[in-house]
Amino acid sequence: MSKCQQCGKGPQFGNNRPWSKKATRRIWSVNIQKTTVMEGGRAVSKRLCTACLKSQTKA
């Protein structure tokens, strides 16, 4: 299970709830993308979530 290297966001856990209300565990994974970002004047390869990528393009 991967985590965002900037914000630390990881997978979330919960239950599937069908019509019968029988709870079974499930996982919501984070949308992690491998990108190259400029850090300290040099290009660094990182695994970032799409929310962090979106906020970096606006900054």
Q: Where are the domains of the chain?
A: 12-58
Residue-level pLDDT, tens digit, the chain, 59 residues? 799 999 999 999 999 999 999 999 999 999 999 999 998 999 999 999 999 999 987 76
pLDDT value of position 27: 97
Could you tell me which of 36, 49, 51 has the C-alpha nearest to residue 4? 49
Residue 59: per-residue pLDDT:
64
Please tell me the predicted confidence (pLDDT) of residue 42: 96
How confident is the model at residue 16, as a pLDDT?
97
Q: Is the pTM of this model over 0.85?
A: no
